[in-house]
Amino acid sequence: MRQFPIREVFRRYPEAQGKYALSSLALENEMKIDFSEKVGVSRGEGDRIITEFSFRVRPTRAPHKGS
**Residue 17 counted as domain residue:** no
Residue-by-residue DSSP string for 34-56: -TTTEEEEEEEETTEEEEEEEEP
Residue 25: the pLDDT is 84
**Residue 48 counted as domain residue:** yes
User: Each residue of 34-57: pLDDT tens digit?
Assistant: 999 999 999 999 999 899 999 998
Check: CB of residue 23 under 8 Å from CB of residue 17: no
The whole model's pTM is what? 0.52
**Residue 27 counted as domain residue:** yes
User: Each residue of 3-12: pLDDT tens digit?
Assistant: 667 788 888 8
Residue 38 and residue 36: Cα distance in Å, rounded?
A: 6
Q: Tell me the residue range of the domain where 33 lies.
A: 23-57
Report residue 2's pLDDT band, with 50, 70 and 90 as the boundaries.
low
